[in-house]
Structure 1
């Protein structure tokens, strides 16, 4: 079957949301982040056979799954019959209340409540011990492993978005480009896939949800990433201090990552 191609940098998929290459940006010392090595997406539970063939063709040898164990059990990823990549995941939960779950509070979900809920997600993430562990393992894997890598969570926008943003910073990408890459999630041509996976669970908890609240919960806003950056900078003085002191990305590791991932 011939499928119309999605606009770059999105890869054409039928059941995977937000699959894209997050390389191609200007990095340190006039170099460019290599394309064909760094991929990001949402979960793969609804991946079609064509999607699995596509993922297999990308030479992805390392998958970093930022979901917790309950998410992985409820939404197991489909795999190609010849799948052989190493999967790095956390033995426990990585998010206490991800947006696709209702959470503990039953309330009318207005646009502002949806926004505040997401701000809280990004406020907690810098001190979330599970995500600290996973981001540290992500950087270590990319420093040492050959082939392409894929990072994903449930929707491929929050935990995945921060992970991609941190790596791009390490590679010397300007914050304006990091933010632009982060915001591309809202342009993904597969929103219907995420809505099908998320909205029934959310509506079962909240009832009807305001349309803008849905956009705030399953999309991204500039202030979401800005909140993460602000929290880290306030507590550590800079993103680079946080990377070195908390995630183990010192100047030597940063140089090795740049050597491997810049061209």
Structure 2
């Protein structure tokens, strides 16, 4: 499974490298930063604003970004990245935010496996079908590290916390985590997928020319940076194959049963 984790981490690291100095969804240095507020559930309720945020990493934030973050009221930052990723690009969270930073890595990334995936991206036999196959396999592998997402939900359950969760690019690990949150809160599949695919708005505006330093042609980089519906579908398929359904997994592995769902919906949902 090391190589599968490395695929996710490699694409995320490269995305974060090329993301700097690009402005898209509010933060210049973290273009995939956004909140879940405003998303509608199946029963017609909406997620409250300014309570749950998702993003990519926060490396070398300009002062303007720090000021915007300080205004969010975020109390807890949950970082899904490995020690290897964090050492390369540590978060630059402003002290004025006063948030608690928590490292909650999803899996254990092996740098050697990341190098092997880089060879695929730069090699002569590269194909888009090959990338899709690798990403589908990698996302399906989330089920093998599913308990790593429990700390996120533990903090979401706390009464007064405003939570930001992120990985490197904010699209794979973060996208999957967001899909679980939205499911728990009662969003339908189309809404969940729309949030997942919204990452393409951010990565689509990234200057991929910086990835040439890694020997990755621009067209390959652009393809690799995106997310596609089959990626998330594969992650959920992996859960269904092992547990039967997502709700069984949530209760058995993450501790989110009906009682906890009601608590979360009471905290995060409001009437239109």
**If the TM-score is normalised by the length of the shorter chain, which range does it land in?**
0.7 to 0.9
**Alignment match of 2:93 (pick from 65, 75, 79):** 79
Q: Residues of 2 paired with 1:83 and 1:123: CA distance?
A: 35
Is residue 182 of structure 1 aligned with residue 189 of structure 2?
A: no
Q: Aligned with 1:30: secondary structure?
A: coil
* Deviation for aligned residue 1:88: 1.9
Residues 124-175 of structure 1: CA deviation (Å, up to 9, x unaligned): 11112xxx34310100101014242111100000000001110000000001
Alignment partner, residue 155 of structure 2: 141
Higher helix share: 2
Q: Secondary structure at the match of 1:226?
A: helix
Hey, what does 1:103 align to over in structure 2? 116
Q: Give 1:125's aligned residue.
A: 142
Q: 1:196 to 1:14 in 2, by over 3 A?
A: farther
**In the alignment, what sits opposite 2:259?**
252
Match of 1:162 in 2: 176
1:90 Cα offset (Å) = 3.0
Question: What CA RMSD, in Å, does the superposition of the two structures yield over aligned residues?
Answer: 2.5
- Give the Cα–Cα distance (whole angstroms) in 2 for the partners of residues 141 and 196 of structure 1: 38
Query: CA deviation digits over 1:54-111, x for unaligned, max 9?
Result: 0110000011111011111111111214232112213795445799x54356232321
> Is the CA contact 1:89–1:134 (under 8 Å) kept in the aligned structure 2?
no
When normalised by structure 2's length, the TM-score is 0.81
Aligned pairs, number: 244
Shift of 1:232: 0.8
- Residues 244 and 127 (structure 1), Cα distance of their counterparts in 2 relative to 1, 3 Å cut: same
**Contact 1:24 1:34 (8 Å CA) reproduced:** yes
| Change beyond 3 A, Cα 1:111–1:73 | same
1:13-52 matched pairs, under 5 angstroms: 13-27=27-41, 29-52=43-66
Cα distance in structure 2, aligned partners of 1:244 and 1:49: 42
2: CA distance between counterparts of 1:141 and 1:127?
A: 22
Report the 3-state secondary structure (helix = DSSP H, G, I; strand = E; otherwise coil) of the residue aligned with 1:60: coil
**Distance in structure 2 (CA, Å) of the matches to 1:92 and 1:167:** 16
- Give distance in 1, aligned partners of 2:65 and 2:116: 31
Gaps of 5+ in 2: 1-22
Q: TM-score, normalised by structure 1?
A: 0.83
Checking the alignment, whether the CA contact within 8 Å between 1:17 and 1:43 is kept in structure 2 is: no
Distance in 1, Cα, partners of 2:240 & 2:234: 10
